[in-house]
Amino acid sequence: MRAILSDIHGNLEALEAVLADMASFGVREVFCLGDLVGYGTDPIACVEHAMAWPVVLLGNFDLAAMQSDDLEGWTAHAAKRSIFNFRQRLLKTGKEATVGAFLRDLPYKHVDGQALYLHGSPRDPVNEYLFPEDIYNPRKLDAVAQGFERLCFCGHTHVPGIFYPHDEQEWAFLSPEQCDYQYQLGPGKTICNVGSVGQPRDGDRRPSYVLLEEDTIIFSRVDYDIEKSIQKINDDDDDPDGLSGARLRDGR
């Protein structure tokens, strides 16, 4: 059984809860779809966990963290601040040669049989978002579907669910609740957004990840010590306005 997760964003408490949940299922390998850093207070510890996994891909935060620019074009102040703070942590801890080198070497995508793994979308593996409302833009999803053979796993939006072709002209989206947390793959192409470990944004504060066993996708949500994560953010001065902590609690 394979576990696929994404968007950890430095939330160590959420990641450790997910890893414990994986162990209960007997997971044999972990694939990560990017965004190890950003927002949370423990990005280095999260990266060090990821260094043991067979597949770890590049997310937009990981890419930005290892660039030398001032993030021109990033409008979210909390996101920018967290990246700058991560860069400072690397220097203070002396882990540029290990953690920094690991992030710089991350690939954009991974192909395993008929499955494509990436952070964003086949058209732009790092930056393009696939939102549930994109089902009303079939031209976009049709174009995206040209970029993979049968199955695509992504993250980036922090909203878990399944995109599948409802008929020749339309796409449909199922949230984990709508498919009872389990989806059986059919003959058509399927896009699975695995959600976010560290920053869920679908109204459910619990970390999200998926399990893949043959042709079955299973969505898993786990509880964790969210108040500890929020308190660490508040104590760390990374979030002077309190918005990042409130977002965790609200799942938004």
CATH of the domain at 25: 3.60.21.10
Q: What is the mean pLDDT of residues 225-249?
A: 79
Cβ(250)–Cβ(205) below 8 Å: yes
pLDDT (0 to 100) of residue 252: 85
Q: pLDDT tens digits for 101-123?
A: 999 999 999 999 999 999 999 99
**Closest C-alpha to 127, from 154, 152, 87, 149:** 154
Cα separation, 144 vs 130, in Å, equals: 9
- Statement: residue 243 has pLDDT above 80: no
How many percent of the chain have pLDDT more than 70? 97
Q: Is the pLDDT of residue 240 over 70?
A: no
Asked whether 220 and 31 are in contact (CB, 8 A), the reply is no
pLDDT in tens, 193-232: 999 999 999 999 999 999 999 999 999 999 999 999 999 9
Tens of pLDDT along 74-90? 877 888 889 999 999 99
Q: How many domains does the chain have?
A: 1
Per-residue pLDDT at 166: 81
Q: Which residue, among 180, 178, 207, has the nearest Cα to 195 in the 3D structure?
A: 207
Q: What are phi and psi of 109, to 5 degrees?
A: -155, 170
- pLDDT value of residue 238: 54
154 near 194, Cβ under 8 Å? yes
Residue 29 CB partners (closer than 8 Å, separation 6+): 2, 3, 53, 54, 55
What pLDDT is recorded for position 239? 58
The domain containing residue 224 runs over which residues? 2-250
Residue of 143, 220, 138, 157 whose CA lies nearest to 183: 220
Mean pLDDT for the stretch of residues 148-170: 93
Higher pLDDT, 250 or 146: 146
Of 115-124, 125-134, 201-210, 238-247, the range with the lowest mean pLDDT is: 238-247
The helix (H) or strand (E) run that includes residue 52 is none
The reported pLDDT for the residue numbered 17 is 98
> Chain-wide mean pLDDT for the chain?
93
For residue 236, what pLDDT is reported?
74
pTM of the model: 0.95
